[in-house]
Amino acid sequence: MRKYLGAALGLALAIGTGGEVLAGDRAAAVDKALPVAREAYQFLHRNPELGKKEFKAHDYLVSRLKALGYTQFVASPSAPTAVIAVLDTGRPGPVVALRAEMDARPLAAGAVEPEGHSPRSEIPGVMHTCGHDVHAAILLAAAALAQENKARFSGKLVFVFQPAEEVAGGADDIVRDGVLDKLGVQKIFAQHVAPGLPVGTITISPGDTLAGSNYFNLTLTGRGSHAAAPQDGDDVILGAMKVAEEISTLPARRIDQANRPMVVSVTRFVADSGASNVIPPKAELSGTIRAFEDLTKAPKDGPALQDVIVARINAVSAAQGLKAEWSLRQASPPTRNDPALFGALLPSLTKAFPGKVDTTPSRGMFSEDFAYYTPHYQALYFGLGVAKDGLGEGGVHTADYTTHPEAFRYGLTLMTLLAQLGTTGDAAWR
């Protein structure tokens, strides 16, 4: 597989999965820019960096952008590793941003990237398991293509290489700093690799597409006891297990899932007395809650979701003789695709894209900090197929994640089309 991946990444195929050929000179422009993506992907994948520490990625991207002729860079004070480059076409038109992430993720304890991967992470315990290296490499190639074909676009293009998508302080910091507002950005586009989706297919649907993320901590306390006499205490571990089960199954039995979908997952459970014959007096649980609404706000016809959860926790905890302490941290809101922008762009995009554009309505419980941009600018967030010949099947956030090399062509074509349609409203390559 190593030999295959290394060779295949250099391929420049113009034929899509359905046999379509990219129109005219656009194919040649994509071919010419693909080596930029290939080189960047190799570098970024070998040198993964965690959120807010993307120093090598920052320096590499700035260096490459300058070599491509970019001279206007804008800093985001709260996100110093961000790279934001501006291309002024010199022609009247809107300001359109294209965004990609830069950060990698820590691997699970004991996990390593498989030997067969090529390129392969050179940093122990850290890997691009979410495809951000793919996104950033494609965006750099899009910047190269746009610079060389400036007359094909109008207005200004803003290339946003964003840090810290996997941790707090990426998109939210850039939005808070007002950088894109000062540049006059009106529309913003992004894509994300989609394991299992065939190469040559992209997905997009209007409205809410990804859930908002929330993180909770729950401490349950009661009376500890000797393990031989659980009746002398509150059996905190058993009680905590019942609470964990109750909140995990709560959405299916106490929430209208058709209209208020929600997932509660307990991801951490700690209850340690330090001895095998002692039942501890405390248990700590934490996890995530995904939903398409603000958990703290009540709709007109029902209670806030957090209120439903906390009420159930208190009832079950009290029945076990336990005291519950709950805290909630709200993270990314739901990611929303602008229906008007979807309607305006999709007819032309569908005709010009060389593969399949799947507009089947879809929502997922994953979350993305691209959501912080969507209340401020017209936004569309696409899924990019990366699966072919056994590659691109491993799930994100796992060491098995891979991308088929041909996906780069379609990702670059997509970003180029979005830049063109976003600034000129026309997909023709004249």
pLDDT in tens, 342-355: 999 999 999 999 99
DSSP 256: -
Binding residue ranges:
130, 132, 166, 192, 397
Binding residue ranges for Mn(2+):
130, 132, 166, 192, 397
Percent of the chain with pLDDT over 70: 94
Give pLDDT tens digits for 119-135. Answer: 999 999 999 999 999 99
At residue 147, the 3 state secondary structure works out as helix
Give pLDDT tens digits for 111-120. Answer: 999 999 999 9
Query: Domain locations in the chain?
Result: 2-210+334-424, 212-330
**Is the pLDDT score of 1 beyond 80?**
no
**Is the pLDDT score of 104 beyond 70?**
yes
Give pLDDT tens digits for 170-190. Answer: 999 999 999 999 999 999 999
Range 206-222 average pLDDT: 98
Fold of 212-330: Alpha-Beta Plaits (3.30.70)
Range 26-34 average pLDDT: 95
DSSP 107: P
**Strand (E) or helix (H) holding 380:** strand 378-387
| Matching residue, tokens 């159930």 | 312
Domain 2-210+334-424 shares a fold with domain 212-330 = no
Range 165-174 average pLDDT: 96
Phi/psi for 54 (5° steps) reads -85, 55
Give pLDDT tens digits for 403-416. Answer: 999 999 999 999 99
Range 373-377 average pLDDT: 97
Give the pLDDT band (50/70/90) at residue 4: very low
- Mean pLDDT taken over the chain: 94
Which residues pair with residue 324 across a beta bridge? 220
Burial of 304 (0-12, 13-18, 19+ CB in 10 A): middle
Q: Tell me how far CA of residue 3 lies from CA of 9, 116, 175, 396, in angstroms.
A: 10, 9, 42, 23
Range 158-176 average pLDDT: 97
Give the pLDDT band (50/70/90) at residue 429: confident
Range 313-328 average pLDDT: 98
The pLDDT value recorded for residue 14 is 30
Superfamily of domain 2-210+334-424: Zn peptidases (3.40.630.10)
**Is the pLDDT score of 21 beyond 80?**
no
**Is the pLDDT score of 6 beyond 90?**
no
- Rounded Cα distance between 264 and 247, Å, is 7
**Is the pLDDT score of 248 beyond 50?**
yes
Give the pLDDT band (50/70/90) at residue 24: low
Range 249-272 average pLDDT: 97
